[in-house]
């Protein structure tokens, strides 16, 4: 007879209290997923370089219009707290010293993935959508592809695209006109307001990234 052991789930306040009391090691990288405390994978060399590159590009281009948070906790809901590689947050005078940033504070999340693409897409992306995170990018370093998710609903993101080499993705929040792409135009009646509809070869005016996929994920 197989006896299934009950699992102890933690709420976000309980998890935060454990952190405050020093229960975990200082170097432990952890996330709260469905109320369970999950250890994160070690960061590889290319992963680290991609995060550093994204931080530099976004920080330089957004300046005072947003806070770029790197691998810091983001409170998703009562059972989830993730540590996305990049979170672009609404500006706040205290830089979120008074409380953790939440999904409502977040304009863009970027998850950089070399060995965790399936996990990020099947576990984290749906939970970001359910919490209302406006936009998520998953940078797949093995395929040199950025998967873009927009228009969150409780069932998932209503819009998803893949940006490849030669494409220039731009977060919707900072999009003046649609991103420029050799493969597709992301601007259509299903993705952006009609007033944004412009030809595929029109110039991209992007206040945020405005960089090609190669610039963002780097070269092999």
pLDDT tens per residue, range 141-200: 999 899 999 999 999 999 999 988 878 787 888 764 333 433 333 322 233 232 233 333
Name, in order, each residue with C-beta under 8 angstroms of 60's C-beta and a sequence gap of 6 or more.
Answer: none
Closest residue by Cα to residue 35 from 63, 7, 58: 7
Please give the structure tokens belonging to residue 112.
Answer: 């950089």
Looking at 12-16, 47-51, 53-57, 180-184, which range is the least confident one? 180-184
Domain ranges (residues) in the chain: 12-217
Please report the pLDDT score of residue 200 as a whole number. 33
Please report the pLDDT score of residue 170 as a whole number. 79
pLDDT tens per residue, range 93-146: 999 999 999 999 999 999 999 999 999 999 999 999 999 999 999 999 999 899
Which CATH class, in words, describes the domain spanning 12-217?
alpha beta
Dihedral sign of CA atoms 32, 38, 39, 42 in order = negative
Please report the pLDDT score of residue 187 as a whole number. 28
């Amino acid at each position: 007879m197989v006896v299934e052991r009950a699992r102890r789930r933690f709420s976000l306040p309980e998890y935060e209290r454990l952190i405050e009391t020093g229960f975990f090691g200082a170097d432990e990288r952890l996330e709260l997923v469905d109320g369970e405390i999950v250890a994160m994978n070690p960061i590889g060399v290319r992963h680290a370089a991609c995060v550093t590159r994204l931080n530099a590009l976004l920080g330089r281009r957004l300046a005072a219009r947003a806070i770029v948070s790197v691998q810091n906790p983001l409170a998703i809901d009562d059972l989830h707290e993730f540590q996305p590689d990049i979170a672009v947050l609404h500006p706040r005078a205290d830089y979120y010293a008074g409380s953790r940033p939440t999904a409502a504070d977040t304009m863009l999340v970027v998850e950089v993935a070399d060995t965790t693409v399936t996990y990020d897409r099947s576990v984290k992306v749906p939970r970001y959508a359910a919490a209302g995170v406006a936009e998520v990018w998953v940078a797949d370093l093995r395929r040199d592809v950025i998967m873009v998710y927009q228009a969150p609903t409780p069932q998932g993101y209503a819009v998803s695209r893949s940006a490849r080499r030669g494409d220039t993705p731009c977060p919707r929040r900072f999009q003046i006109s649609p991103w420029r792409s050799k493969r597709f135009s992301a601007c259509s009646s299903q993705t952006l307001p009609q007033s944004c509809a412009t030809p595929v070869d029109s110039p991209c005016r992007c206040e945020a990234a405005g960089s090609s996929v190669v610039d963002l994920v780097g070269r092999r």
